Amino acid sequence: CGCSHYLTSTQAVVGEEEPLFSNLDLFLFSLIVGLVIYWFMSRKKPEPIPEFKKIDTPAPAARETSFIEKMKKTGKNIIVFYGSQTGTAEEFANRLSKDAQRYGMKGMAADPEEYDMGELSRLSEIKNSLAIFCMATYGEGDPTDNAQDFYDWLQENDDDMSGLNYTVFALGNKTYEHYNAMGKYVDKRLEDLGAKRIFDLGLGDDDGNLEEDFVSWREQFWPAVCEHFGVEASGDELSIRQYELKEHTDINMNKVYTGEIGRLKSFEVQKPPFDSKNPFLAPVTVNRKLNKAGDRHLMHLELDITGSKIRYESGDHVAVFPTNDSVLVNKLGQILGVDLDKVISLNNLDEESNKKHPFPCPTTYRTALTHYLDITHPPRTNVLYELAQYASDPKDQENMRKMASSSPEGKALYQSWVLDASRNILAILEDMPSLRPPVDHLCELLPRLQARYYSIASSSKVHPNSIHICAVVVEYKTKTGRTNKGVATNWLKNKLVTDNGHKSTVPMYIRKSQFRLPFKATNPVIMIGPGTGIAPFVGFIQERGWLKQQGKEVGETVMYFGCRHKNEDYIYQEELEEAEKNAVLPQLHVAFSRDQDQKVKLSITLLVPYTILISYYMYTTLCIWTSSLCMLEASLEPWS
């Protein structure tokens, strides 16, 4: 019945004639039209906003990438490019650019990363122009990070450099296979492109006395420049200030740097990506002593990188930014009679310079001496020379200037009184009471406190959110009876893990390395690592263990490890022996150099091709043998 009723009703409705548009249709159509009009009207309202933004928040001016135009604008004719990883090459470049003024020229130091190096061929447009290159070599003959693009450009371009006058001072370490490779390459490549070398390549050896190498080269270099350009030294040996002091008496403290490396407040609001200008504050989750006994402290730290988007590979380095001991900073403030909490800026007298300040400003003297300046390294000769004018005792002035000279007596005095005695700036001020320089000039002269690099002792396959550090705390007595402490290792030692809610943090970033396991996991590997040189191999062993767990075929892994005493400093013993037990490390050979009268040496005969990985302390080298037979003698006395 219900069904028939429905059909009858439907037929009745269909049968009626209705108008083309009902009232409901008209209503819906009007509503749609209204919504469309409203949408178009609302779209037009925001149009003025971009114009408003341009007025109120102007975009920063484009960075000047033409060093030629800058030199023309400022009347400079000497440019000193630096490839620097630890700051030494940059320091030498600044010294050379300041030297130019004493020879009637005008110089500027320049980071090749900031300029268009394709303009080198245009340098001949400037009269009596000269390009100096202070080039450090990093790792296995690699360019430094800031010189990588320049290195690539030199390899890829064949520009005519026939109008370019140049010279190169190279910085390296002869214990590396590729000694001063970057400096040698720049020197040879520029010559091949037609440039004119006006003075011989300088070779600085950090394994010997890098400062002496540089001073000796520099003493011969400037007379050669004068002869080439037909100019004479002005004879003006007075101190030349690069920065002027400004004291802030009324400043918003939110605008004052408190230790940040780059962006203001970057430690309060962390934003990836993280690098040398923007380090990540990694919480310390583990800090334990590795050695069981002895008078040294070997430590294992773990840094939490959860949520940072930081990625690393086994063999990479972790760079950490340490801070100076507050005791040393306070002593410096007391001996110089300065209010360490005064807010200051050091502003570059050259307004056209890209480097406006020697360190982030405005800041306090305390922050500068704690976070930004190296106060523990023995000062270089140029610092002594500049400070000599502030010694009230003529004998002190004479000795300081003598140490800064290239005379045999001066070099010997600097070697014995400063280097051999490990005198830092505080020790020099304590032992030379007549020397009381203004603190702002001292801050201008001291080099920047640099990041420290450690081989990562973990595998990202096993610990994707954690980075492990293995290091020995540096502490020793000097010839003057003082106790000197390593800046970074003592600072890391005190990064304790607490349960009171406060987390110790370490500013860090990752530095990629060429120190790697073979690409093929089936390749056999021999790893030789004395002492804390075992660090990268801990990560390698973890990685090979992970690969085996994934069911992949892994080549034979052989480990040679040496330390002093088995019962004292056999670090990572449990982990190594567990890897040996599980066949991750089929061969584990250990040598304990002081558990017997004679030092232990190993002669290893390889009957098949192996990849040989050798790590010694912070220095790492990668050697690959592909011959069917080779002999290797390795002394496992890491502390002799």
pLDDT for residue 623 is more than 50: no
Q: Is residue 361 part of a domain?
A: yes
User: In CATH, what number is assigned to the domain containing residue 587?
Assistant: 3.40.50.80
Boundary residue ending a domain (229, 248, 282): 229
* pLDDT class of 517 with cuts at 50, 70, 90: very high
* 86 shares its domain with 172: yes
73 plus 222 within the same structural domain: yes
Instruction: Tell whether 619 is covered by a domain.
Output: yes
353 and 219 assigned to the same domain: no
Which one of 408, 431, 450 terminates a domain? Answer: 450
H/E stretch holding 528: strand 525-530
Note whether residue 457 is domain-resident.
yes
pLDDT digits (tens, 9 = 90+) for 441-481: 999 999 999 999 999 999 999 999 999 999 999 999 999 99
How much is the pLDDT for 102? 83
> 114 and 104, same structural domain?
yes
Q: How many domains does the chain have?
A: 4
Q: Are residues 318 and 340 in the same domain?
A: no
List the CATH number of the domain containing 408. 1.20.990.10
d(CA 555, CA 75): 62
Please report, for the domain that includes residue 220, its CATH number: 3.40.50.360
| pLDDT > 90: percent of the chain | 70
**Which pLDDT score, from 0 to 100, does residue 45 have?**
43
341 and 458 both lie in a single domain: no
One domain for residues 461 and 483: yes
Cβ neighbours of 211 (radius 10 Å):
22
- Of residues 42 and 284, the one with the higher pLDDT is 284
Domain co-membership, 287 together with 340: no
DSSP character string of 262-280: SSTTTTTS--SS-BTTB-E
**pLDDT of 377-389, one tens digit each?**
999 999 999 999 9
Distance CA 466, CA 470 (A): 13
Return the closest-CA partner of residue 538 out of 454, 611, 423, 414: 454
CATH code of the domain containing 305: 2.40.30.10
**Banded pLDDT at 324 (limits 50, 70, 90):** very high
34 found inside a domain: no
318 shares a domain with 343: no
Q: Is residue 550 part of a domain?
A: yes
The Cα–Cα gap between 355 and 352 comes to 9
Q: Are residues 205 and 72 in the same domain?
A: yes
For residues 374 and 292, state if they share a domain.
no
pTM to 2 decimals?
0.81
- Among the candidates 422, 450, 478, a domain finishes at 450
pLDDT of residue 640: 27
Are residues 468 and 533 part of one domain? Answer: no
- HSE of 529 in the Cβ direction (CA atoms, 13 Å)? 30
Please check whether residue 390 lies inside any domain of the structure.
yes
- pLDDT value, residue 9: 35
Range of the domain at 284: 272-322+451-514
